[in-house]
Structure 1
Amino acid sequence: MVAHVARLILAVVLVLAGACAPGRAVADGSSRHTLAIAGLERDYRLYTPVGVQAPAPLVVMLHGGFGSAEQAERTYGWNALADREGFVVAYPDGVGRAWNAGGCCGRPARDGVDDVGFVGAVVDDVAARLPVDRRRVFAAGMSNGGMMAYALACGSDVFAAIGPVAATQVSDCGSPRPTAVVAIHGEADQSVRADGAPGAGIARVDGPPVADVDAFWRRVDACDAPVVDVAPPVTTSAADCAEGRGVTLISVAGAGHQWPGSQPVREGADPPSGAVDATQTLWAFFAAHPAAG
């Protein structure tokens, strides 16, 4: 009996070891993973559609302040889109429900948490579990998560394109690698104001105007003059750039601090605008802008 139990335990150990071995695909659907980074145990969720083709594009979705990986997975509709379009999605968890985006926010900024390093490690861990198309690795983020997406573009060479929503750039960005950028912002956002004035709320976000951030990335990416399309309540400024990159700013009149087209995050939060499906819009941009080369 003891020998039988021992064999069963050994079989379970071998199965688990094989499932976690580099190069082996994780189970379809949602799974949770833990990494040890700089003395901290850090978690992320991973969504793998059934039958996804390898190598697969990867979207890293960064939750907003006070959010979480679970909340981001539930709220923004990425999994359903991944099923239709054939990509995988990683949802990292920030320390204390926030990210160190280079000047904001919360405990990660106070403690100097290396979130650029953590998110890069998440990408590497996903790539060790299943084949990832390294030319098609993208970062999307809401609010503080959007600021973190800018920090990733400023401080790493991992991402072909980023998609910040309801965010501004607060990180030092002295010598960024050219990166495609699509930003979505509500003109009535009082938490991260489009005009760059200090925002309401605990963080009192005080970054540059979103139009200035857009112009900054057009310079970095060596872009042509933008083409502006006005279809109220949405204004789109889109520029074609060197080596197939692009920089686009989508402004939504009347929209507050929210992810357009999503489910409400919590009671009392700004209701999401229905004028834009942010998730679909970001993915369409990502799909059209792989890394050069």
Structure 2
Amino acid sequence: MKSVSLGGRLALTIILFNLTACGSSGNSGQVTAPTENAERIQLADRSYVLALPTHFDQAKPYKLLLAFHGSGGSSESMRSSARFEQYHSDYIVAYPKSQEVEWNEGCDCNIAHRKGADDLGFIEQIIEDVGTRYRLQEGEVYAAGFSQGALFAQNVACNLGDKVRAVATVGAPMSRQLSLSCAMEAPVSVMMVHGTADNVLSYYGSNHANFGLLSSQEAVARLAALNNSLPNPLLKSASQNVDLIHYTNGKQKVQLHSIKRGGHSWSFSGFDTSQKILDFFDHLHIPELPEHSQLIDVQGQKFHVRSMGKQHSGPAILLLPGFNYNYFNDSAWYALLQPYLAKTYRVHSIDRLGNGFSNMSEEVNLSRFAEDLNGILHALNEKQVLLVAFSSASITASQFYQHRSDDIDLTGMLWIDPDIALPHSLSLYKGYPADWYLANLEALLPILEQGTWTARTWNKLVVEREEIAALLPEALADLMDWNFLDVISQQRMLVGAQQTRAREIAFYADDLDAYAALALPSSVPVSVIDSDFEEKDIQNYPENAEALRQWQQEGSAWSQQVAEFSNGQYMSLEQTDHMVMFQKPERIKQAIDWLVAKGR
């Protein structure tokens, strides 16, 4: 180690030691009296403090939480700051003491490393030792650390992922050395908490040949990559003073809570760090949702619903997604339309099972979703609704019209490029790729399980995003919620979502048959927006031009018939893409305005 590097490292150690001694590790210098359910346990020449919850039950299996102090700290100082055992009755908490002034954090650059402190081995011994003393829940071991102890917690995540389910770090980003050496062969959920004004371990990182730091935003991205997370993070304000960056791989979570103007501390104003960490550990199985989103439980299944414009009265606008040309369909299609409509209306976009953040299910089809809608609306306490259905969602809309609950007032429907329930169109829908998926579904599902099509799915998403960007009207560009579109659409890369898509395409023919057998709606007005999106396919596939032209003509005639039969409007849009929601949202609003006025 170079002398200049050692000097810089020792200076940092002294600073951290002084801060810990002054109480800066948490609670603004105030130490809370610990509970009596604790003892110091000696393991050879090492020790840890083991704290039990207040109402400890010897017969109950517990989770184990390991909490690591900062540089120069102790088991007692960390316990006084975190007090985890006082927050939760399901955890036994171990507060280990480092062998040296610092933990061997994985940077290969400090005193603990030079002296060969086997801190990772010590942690394994503690887990084993606690397991011999008390009943532990299998697979329920967690770790948290402050400052230099947070850097060590990341080392635990990198090297003990087979023993630790999740870690939380407070007051530290990530060392550049560990970011390069970390393998994380077993994925581990990680929660980071860091003040943007931290003047000890900077939120913005630092460059040093011996001990460099990534910024916290770089660190969370690196940890997400090590977990094979989806590429786009969810960004949102968790509160007035806290910004959240959240990644997921569909199972594990990696997130950063950035405390605005927060210093080098365990706790912050309006942010109870210990409680937030325990909440994170307790809800690893629950997805982090975008702003305005919630999960609605209907008969044990959870549906992703995004609600905006709740302050408005009148009928609620329900946005139902349908297939695009890639057979993707989820609430990402309403990333612009929903905030645009929410300026005037109360608007809900709803994802079927297997789409967005809704639960996965093997029982997926467009007809079944009509039944689910009744339960969702009851949970939302919506009695008067106007339904907007894009593409194949007209199947769900038609079924809902026939089978809606008696207490739901359906004031009207707007169908955008609906599926056409006439023979020629139905034969095209039932052809490739629907017939191929039906014939090959059983063999395809295990192939999807292996992730064989994940890269292919991502490539399609990249192209779609570029196409959507080209469609946006300049006047409404500021309303476009790109983060929502990215976060929702990338869910399609998850294996469960890929399998759902395969099942939906395979079962499409059955949905179409049920759709064709229904009578046209007559008691509520149905307006239809009919774009000329077929023109693109007619130009690109001249060998199929005749069949495609017939489909286009048949569709326009049928759409006019639906509108006239139900006393709705028929609107033909020329030079318009299939994704009308992005290209001409104002025309959709005009159609909704007309239906709402008609229903008064």
Matched residue type, 1:274: S
User: 1-side partners of 2:228 and 2:111: how far apart?
Assistant: 36
Task: Give the conservation status (yes or no) of the 8 Å contact 1:166–1:184.
Answer: yes
SS of 1:59 mapped into structure 2: strand
User: 2-side partners of 1:68 and 1:218: how far apart?
Assistant: 30
| Percent identity between the two aligned chains | 27
2:285 paired with 1:279: no
SS of 1:217 mapped into structure 2: helix
2:264 paired with 1:257: yes
TM-score under structure 1 normalisation?
0.76
SS of 1:65 mapped into structure 2: coil
- 1:61-140 alignment, distance < 5 Å: 61-82=67-88, 85-103=89-107, 106-140=110-144
Unaligned runs of 5+ in 1: 1-27, 261-272
SS of 2:214 mapped into structure 1: coil
Partner of residue 177, structure 1: 186
2:196 paired with 1:192: no
2:240 paired with 1:240: no
Task: Give the conservation status (yes or no) of the 8 Å contact 2:183–2:226.
Answer: no
Of residues 17, 35, 41, the one that matches 2:43 is 35
TM-score under structure 2 normalisation?
0.38
User: 1-side partners of 2:200 and 2:86: how far apart?
Assistant: 29
Q: Which has the higher contact order (CA 8 A, sep 6+)?
A: 1
Task: Give the conservation status (yes or no) of the 8 Å contact 2:184–2:227.
Answer: no
User: 2-side partners of 1:48 and 1:211: how far apart?
Assistant: 35
Describe the shift of the 1:222–1:103 C-alpha distance in structure 2 as closer, same or farther (beyond 3 A): closer
Q: Higher helix proportion, which one?
A: 2
Matched residue type, 1:229: K
Describe the shift of the 1:86–1:105 C-alpha distance in structure 2 as closer, same or farther (beyond 3 A): farther
1:126-174: CA deviation from partner (whole Å, max 9, x where unpaired): 0111011132110000011100100001111211000011123233203
Describe the shift of the 1:105–1:165 C-alpha distance in structure 2 as closer, same or farther (beyond 3 A): farther
RMSD of aligned C-alpha atoms?
Answer: 2.0
Partner of residue 161, structure 1: 166
Task: Give the conservation status (yes or no) of the 8 Å contact 1:186–1:252.
Answer: yes
1:23-44: CA deviation from partner (whole Å, max 9, x where unpaired): xxxxx810111112xxxx0000
Task: Give the conservation status (yes or no) of the 8 Å contact 2:194–2:203.
Answer: yes
Describe the shift of the 1:54–1:45 C-alpha distance in structure 2 as closer, same or farther (beyond 3 A): same
1:163-217: CA deviation from partner (whole Å, max 9, x where unpaired): 0111232332034421000000000111111111159xxxx95221111111122
Residue 289 of structure 1: how far off its partner (Å): 2.5
SS of 1:174 mapped into structure 2: coil
Task: Give the conservation status (yes or no) of the 8 Å contact 2:166–2:281.
Answer: yes
Moved more, 225-234 or 64-73: 225-234
User: 2-side partners of 1:56 and 1:93: how far apart?
Assistant: 22
Matched residue type, 2:101: R
User: 1-side partners of 2:117 and 2:204: how far apart?
Assistant: 29
Q: Higher strand proportion, which one?
A: 1
User: 2-side partners of 1:105 and 1:132: how far apart?
Assistant: 35
User: 1-side partners of 2:108 and 2:147: how far apart?
Assistant: 11
Residue 219 of structure 1: how far off its partner (Å): 1.8
User: 1-side partners of 2:252 and 2:284: how far apart?
Assistant: 6
2:221 paired with 1:215: yes
Residue 101 of structure 1: how far off its partner (Å): 0.2
Matched residue type, 1:190: N
Matched residue type, 1:289: L
User: 2-side partners of 1:66 and 1:73: how far apart?
Assistant: 14
SS of 2:107 mapped into structure 1: coil
Higher radius of gyration, 1 or 2: 2
Residue 51 of structure 1: how far off its partner (Å): 2.8
Residue 74 of structure 1: how far off its partner (Å): 1.6
User: 2-side partners of 1:192 and 1:205: how far apart?
Assistant: 11
